[in-house]
């Protein structure tokens, strides 16, 4: 996913000299083609994410579209004040890229777990929030954010995500993307947890339930129309995210449902209001928090029962 995203930004940068990439001294294996092709549009700010963000804001206010790049919580929580005061407040065209959302860097411990990032970024006025599920969605988000006014947050997987679709022809910011239609249950996912939700959907079909399945590459602005449509046609809405259930996709969907007359029940699947004290790879930590395909299917069947 990250490679496809950077390739797309590079394609755009070759034809638009106002597109800049700034890294916090990370990602050189992925970013090397960028600085080789357009060296004058690439800066290594060093291990100084707060300075990187303020510098990007200044560049953006001079007419640039600036992508900042780092891993885990480093481009977000470490420099929250700079994002709020320098970028969002001034509606600066800074696109904050986090590689390794959720438990991607699980073996490095809690400091590298990006499990509150969507909630924090979603709470800031003037920031659009994206979490693509696969390479096609990542490329679409790259193109969309390059021309989207103001500050954006983009959460990427590290690679190896399950492919959702080959390409996206008509991507729109703020619109969910359908994967399959079913009845009874609608599953909403954001980010690369989609692979687990797709596995859960297969297990549910074996149990006689074909769920509707949507990916939400945009978490903010949220697709109210799709949420309400599904809530009118299904008895259960399920949100799946590799993120705390407080403030992320599940909360965004809950806010829409709370302001409607829809009768659908809501089941939010994610990390339930705690810090992860365990250390292990992404798959291990997903199982620990009930986020494998099998566990998701079991939770849905239990809720329906």
Residue 112 contacts residue 54 (beta carbons within 8 Å): no
How many CA within 13 A on the CB side of residue 146?
22
Q: With CA atoms as reference, report the closest residue to 296 among 162, 201, 154.
A: 201
Q: What percent of the chain has pLDDT over 70?
A: 100
Predicted confidence (pLDDT) at residue 166 exceeds the cutoff of 90:
no
- Sheet order of strands, 42-44 included: 42-44, 19-23, 65-71, 94-99, 151-156, 127-130, 218-220
Interatomic CA distance for residues 30 and 2, integer angstroms: 8
User: Which pair of structure tokens corresponds to residue 132?
Assistant: 């693509």
Average pLDDT over residues 155-178: 91
pLDDT reported for residue 167: 86
pLDDT reported for residue 19: 98
Q: With CA atoms as reference, report the closest residue to 190 among 163, 225, 155.
A: 155
pLDDT reported for residue 70: 95
Domains of the chain: which residue ranges?
2-156, 177-304
Burial classification of residue 83, based on how many CB atoms lie within 10 Å of its CB (0-12 exposed, 13-18 middle, 19 or more buried): buried
Sign of the Cα pseudo-torsion (97, 103, 104, 107, in order): positive
CATH number of the domain located at residue range(s) 2-156 in this protein: 3.40.50.970
pLDDT reported for residue 29: 87
242-293 per-position pLDDT tens digit: 999 999 999 999 999 999 999 899 999 999 988 888 999 999 999 999 999 9
94-103 per-position pLDDT tens digit: 999 999 999 9
Interatomic CA distance for residues 103 and 193, integer angstroms: 10
More confident residue, 277 or 12: 12
Average pLDDT over residues 112-117: 93
pLDDT reported for residue 259: 95
- Considering the entire predicted model, what is its pTM? 0.96
170-214 per-position pLDDT tens digit: 999 999 999 999 999 999 999 999 999 999 999 999 999 999 999
Predicted confidence (pLDDT) at residue 161 exceeds the cutoff of 90:
no
pLDDT reported for residue 169: 87
Question: 22 forms bridges with which residues in the sheet?
Answer: 43, 68
29-80 per-position pLDDT tens digit: 899 999 999 999 999 999 999 999 999 999 999 999 999 999 989 999 999 9
Interatomic CA distance for residues 260 and 61, integer angstroms: 39
Considering the four listed CATH numbers 3.40.190.10, 3.20.20.70, 3.40.50.300, 3.40.50.920, the one that applies to the domain covering 177-304 is 3.40.50.920
Q: How confident is the model at residue 129 (pLDDT cuts 50, 70, 90)?
A: very high
Interatomic CA distance for residues 286 and 103, integer angstroms: 8
Predicted confidence (pLDDT) at residue 158 exceeds the cutoff of 90:
no
User: Which pair of structure tokens corresponds to residue 241?
Assistant: 């995210």
């Amino acid at each position: 996913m990250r490679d496809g995203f950077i390739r797309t930004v590079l394609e755009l940068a070759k034809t638009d000299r106002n597109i800049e990439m700034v890294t916090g001294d990370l990602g050189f294996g992925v970013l090397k083609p960028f600085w080789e092709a357009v060296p004058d549009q690439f800066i290594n700010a060093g291990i100084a994410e707060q300075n990187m963000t303020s510098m990007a804001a200044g560049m953006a206010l001079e007419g640039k579209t600036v992508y900042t790049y780092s891993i885990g919580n480093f481009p977000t929580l470490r420099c929250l004040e700079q994002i709020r005061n320098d970028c969002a407040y001034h509606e600066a065209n800074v696109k904050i890229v986090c590689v390794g959302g959720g438990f991607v860097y699980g073996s490095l411990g809690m400091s590298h777990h990006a499990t509150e990032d969507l909630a924090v970024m979603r709470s800031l006025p003037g920031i659009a929030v994206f979490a693509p599920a696969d390479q096609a969605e990542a490329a679409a988000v790259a193109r969309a954010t390059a021309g989207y006014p103001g500050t954006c947050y983009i959460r990427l997987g590290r690679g190896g995500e399950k492919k959702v679709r080959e390409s996206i022809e008509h991507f729109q910011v703020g619109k969910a993307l359908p994967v399959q239609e079913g009845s009874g249950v609608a599953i909403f996912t954001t980010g690369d947890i989609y692979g687990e939700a797709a596995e859960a959907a297969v297990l549910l079909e074996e149990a006689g339930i074909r769920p509707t399945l949507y990916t939400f590459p945009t978490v903010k602005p949220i697709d109210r129309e799709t949420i309400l449509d599904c809530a009118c046609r299904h008895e259960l809405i399920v949100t799946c995210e590799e993120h705390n259930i407080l403030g992320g996709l599940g909360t965004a969907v809950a806010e829409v449902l709370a302001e409607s007359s829809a009768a659908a029940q809501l089941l939010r699947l994610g990390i339930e209001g705690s810090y992860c004290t365990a250390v292990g790879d992404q798959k291990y930590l997903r199982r620990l928090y009930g986020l494998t395909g099998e566990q998701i299917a079991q939770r849905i069947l239990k809720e329906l029962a």
